[in-house]
């Protein structure tokens, strides 16, 4: 007998892939510390300031991203954010001065990572699941760990084989050429956009609305 599956699992896979690529690329920051120290004559403290600025911008962006998700939908926010992060990584290969790293990585990439985060992904998974929601969230969150496990050592290997500039280009192309199109093609904000009902149907959602 053919195996039946719900399209909601495709949604979970897309959010997992997005987290793996975007958050994994972000967590690969440590792989570039030593090359940046050599190329830009930066000390470890200055590079740490870039990371600190990144976390601050990421935190500030979250309520703003949440408001944009309400207006534009999670699919739009996730796709634009992924493309922005990918483009910014490629532009990082043209950096010649430390202040450019502060702008690109500390600010622009951090805003993009803030968009491709739990704020948008949680909304879309919630829309698609009225049962097995905990499992769906667990798979989605596993993208963080998978990204760290794959892209951080992967970045270190690429830096050793080539250099840090080609490595950031490869990371950027991964996001722009692979992940961005997958989000556009397969992610949908609501099951109704495909004439489907959420996983588990509408019974639970209707019961919650009556309370």
Q: Where are the alpha helices (DSSP H) in the chain?
A: 8-27, 33-40, 44-72, 74-92, 98-101, 110-115, 118-128, 133-161, 164-173, 180-186, 203-210
Instruction: Enumerate domains of the chain plus CATH numbers.
Output: 9-210 (1.20.1250.20)
CA distance 103 to 115: 17
Measured CA to CA, the distance from residue 176 to residue 181 in angstroms comes to 7
Axis-axis angle for helices 8-27, 118-128 (nearest 10): 170
Do residues 65 and 53 make contact, with C-beta atoms less than 8 angstroms apart? Answer: no
How far is Cα 79 from Cα 17, in angstroms, rounded to an integer? 12
Reference 37, options 53, 48, 28, 25; nearest CA is 48
Q: Is 199 helix (H, G, I), strand (E, B) or coil?
A: strand
Which residue matches tokens 């989000």? Answer: 183
Q: 140 φ, ψ to 5°?
A: -60, -50
Q: Residue 169's CB: how many other CB atoms inside 10 A?
A: 19
pLDDT of residue 204: 46
Q: What is the pLDDT along the chain (211 residues), one digit of tens a residue?
A: 444 678 999 999 999 999 999 989 988 888 888 898 888 888 888 888 988 998 999 999 999 999 999 999 999 999 999 999 999 999 999 988 888 889 998 899 999 999 998 899 999 999 999 888 899 999 999 998 898 899 999 999 999 999 899 999 999 999 999 999 999 999 999 988 888 888 777 654 444 444 4
d(CA 46, CA 34): 12
């Amino acid at each position: 007998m053919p195996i039946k599956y719900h399209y909601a699992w495709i949604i979970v896979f897309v959010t997992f892939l997005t987290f793996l690529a975007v958050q994994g690329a972000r967590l690969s920051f440590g792989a570039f510390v030593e090359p940046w120290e050599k190329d830009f004559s930066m000390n470890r403290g200055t590079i740490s300031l870039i990371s600190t600025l990144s976390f601050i911008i990421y935190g500030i962006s979250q309520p703003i991203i949440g408001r944009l998700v309400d207006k534009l939908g999670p699919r739009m926010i996730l796709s634009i954010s992924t493309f922005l992060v990918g483009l910014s990584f490629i532009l990082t290969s043209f950096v010649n001065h430390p202040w450019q790293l502060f702008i690109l990585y500390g600010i622009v990439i951090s805003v993009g990572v803030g968009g491709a985060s739990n704020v948008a992904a949680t909304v879309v998974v919630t829309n698609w699941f009225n049962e097995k929601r905990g499992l769906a969230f667990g798979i989605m969150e596993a993208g963080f760990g998978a990204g760290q496990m794959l892209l951080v050592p992967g970045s270190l290997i690429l830096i050793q084989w080539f250099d840090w500039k080609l490595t950031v280009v490869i990371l950027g192309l991964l996001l722009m050429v692979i992940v961005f199109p997958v989000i556009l093609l397969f992610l949908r904000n609501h099951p109704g956009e495909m004439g489907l009902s959420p996983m588990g149907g509408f019974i639970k959602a209707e019961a919650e609305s009556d309370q």
